[in-house]
Amino acid sequence: MTTRAPRRDSVENRAGILDAARATLANDPRASIDVIARSAGLSRRTLYGHFDDRDALIRELISTGAQRFNAIAASVSDADPRIALARLAARLWREASHVQFAAALALDEAHIEHTAAALAPLRRSVAALVQRGQDDGSFRTDIPAPTLARLIEEVARTVVSRTDASSSGAANLAVRALLSIAGLSWRDADELLGAHRDIIEAEEARS
């Protein structure tokens, strides 16, 4: 039996709903389905034809955002674990800063399980990076690799949710916070980022 591809207008409506939801929730994280539907130029009934409820819509936003985060993790290929962690942190920060409201929703307790599942590839990448850094002596070894990877994840969550994305030097702060947790001193971080200025400068230029 052949499965029909979704109609073009259906695909466009769904994409429009997601775009409208991002824009609307950025202004008002508590915006209702009705408000989102109006923003998309669609009826509430049409919106419900794509998403069962508001939570389903938010879960889809989280999933699409997670795909971008997972792709970023896969794109970092530096041999030096310190540089890899700094570059990963900078790139993830740039992505999160543009959709900070969505990141806040994703980190909300109501959606944390869905977020964790959607970000599984990213979490595996971080765990592998931490293990590699411990194996070659780049990262602290007084904490088991799985625990250190989790600490890095928790600090990243805090930085995303608590830092003003528009503030000067926000990307630099995010990168330094994760390097510090990994075991680098502020002098080590200065030396590393001074030798690889493109890590921060490239991301701040794109922000």
Predicted TM-score (pTM) of this structure: 0.81
Specify burial of residue 3 (Cβ count, 10 A radius: 0-12, 13-18, 19+).
exposed
- Are 21 and 94 in the same domain? no
- Are 42 and 69 in the same domain? no
Where residue 26 sits, what CATH number does that domain have?
1.10.10
- Are 16 and 62 in the same domain? no
- pLDDT above 60 (res 149): yes
Specify burial of residue 78 (Cβ count, 10 A radius: 0-12, 13-18, 19+).
middle
Q: Name the domain boundary from 51, 68, 85.
A: 51
- Are 46 and 62 in the same domain? no
- Are 106 and 122 in the same domain? yes
Rounded to the nearest integer, the mean pLDDT of the chain is 86
DSSP state of 79: S
Count: domains in the chain:
2
- Are 14 and 97 in the same domain? no
- Are 75 and 45 in the same domain? no
- pLDDT above 80 (res 10): no
Highest mean pLDDT among 45-59, 95-109, 129-143, 188-202: 129-143
Are the CB atoms for 81 and 136 separated by under 8 Å?
Answer: yes
Domain of residue 187, residue span: 58-206
pLDDT at site 5: 46
pLDDT at site 140: 98
- pLDDT above 80 (res 42): yes
Where residue 197 sits, what CATH number does that domain have?
1.10.357.10
